Amino acid sequence: MTIEFLDFYADWCGPCRIMEPTLQALEQELGEKVKITKIDVDNENEKAAAHGVMSIPTYIILKDGNEVERFVGATSKEILKTKIEAHLN
């Protein structure tokens, strides 16, 4: 079972910048269990389009390559961690 957390962001996005320290802390805590992939929508717009990303920040949790959860907007580390951990079992 592989869990991947996709972070769709842009450098000019205020909420994306606000979330950066939260995602770094999350990566330190869950890095062994979850692969966190940052995707800059300006440089990788094909990937954003392939995932149907219309707003940023958008977070998508993939389990074995399939999307299992998606959420948009800034949120707390605790909420992100809870959402990811729900798919680890």
- Count of Cβ atoms closer than 10 Å to residue 2 Cβ: 10
Q: Per this entry, what is the length of the chain?
A: 89
From 3, 6, 13, 39, the catalytic residue: 13
How far apart CA 61 and CA 68 sit, in angstroms, is 6
Is 32 labeled as catalytic in the residue annotation?
no
Is 45 labeled as catalytic in the residue annotation?
no
- Looking up tokens 């998606």 gives 70
From 3, 6, 16, 41, the catalytic residue: 16
Catalytic residue numbers, as ranges = 13, 16
